[in-house]
Amino acid sequence: MDLEIDIAVEAGDWPDENVLSAQAESACAATFAELGIEPRESELSLVFTDDASIRNLNREWRGKDKATNVLSFPAFKVAPGDALPPMLGDVILAFETVSREAALEDKPFEHHLAHLLVHGLLHLLGYDHENDADADEMEGLERKILMRLSIPDPYG
């Protein structure tokens, strides 16, 4: 794949960077395959951090003073089906929230992380869930992509 994935582990008890990189590459490859996107040179930044850091970003950029599992910041405005831009943008994940959600939902941490990587990437590719129709489309895509990774339906 011609996608360059830059990984920064800022905080949190995340797996080794090689493990994160392999999981990110798999999630991206499955997403591109499901969407029929031809890989071309592009960049993706993944930041693995903690609840305190993501809470600050969520407050600053979304006006929500709470931690969240994942935030996406597109580098370019992209609509579903557009060619990949030279840089996709940033996906930021918070360890404590991801870990807590995986435990509450009784699913392996790696499965939940893959789901959130796919979710964040779909946002960078122009998908959203602001209304019911868009949410249904995005969730349907997530299910199909995760199925490619042999991960059970996260919404089931």
Band of the pLDDT at 41, cuts 50, 70, 90? confident
SS3 letters for 85-144?
Answer: CCEEEEEEEEHHHHHHHHHHCCCCHHHHHHHHHHHHHHHHCCCCCCCHHHHHHHHHHHHH
Query: With pLDDT > 90 as the criterion, what percentage of the chain qualifies?
Result: 81
- What lies within 8 Å, CB to CB, of 44 at 6+ separation is 3, 4, 5, 6, 24, 28, 87, 88, 89, 91, 121, 124
Q: What is the pLDDT of residue 1?
A: 57
In whole numbers, what is the pLDDT of the chain averaged over residues? 93
Q: What is the pLDDT of residue 110?
A: 96
Q: Answer whether 152's CB lies under 8 Å from 38's CB.
A: no
**Side chain identity at residue 27, one-letter code:** A
Residue among 123, 136, 99, 121 at smallest CA distance from 12? 99
Band of the pLDDT at 83, cuts 50, 70, 90? confident
Residue 45: is its pLDDT beyond 80?
A: yes
Q: What is the pLDDT of residue 40?
A: 77
Adjacent-strand bridge partners of 7: 46
pLDDT in tens, 96-139: 999 999 999 999 999 999 999 999 999 999 998 888 888 899 99
Q: What is the pLDDT of residue 135?
A: 85
Calpha distance 113→34 (Å, rounded): 18
pLDDT in tens, 62-77: 999 999 999 999 999 9
Please give the radius of gyration of the chain, using alpha carbons only, rounded to the nearest integer.
15
For 3-148, CATH gives: 3.40.390.30
Token pair of 9 as six digits: 């582990």
The full set of domain ranges for the chain reads 3-148
Helices 109-124 and 17-35 meet at what angle, rounded to 10? 50
Q: What is the pLDDT of residue 134?
A: 80
State pTM to two decimals: 0.93
Give burial (CB, 10 Å; 0-12/13-18/19+) of 18: exposed
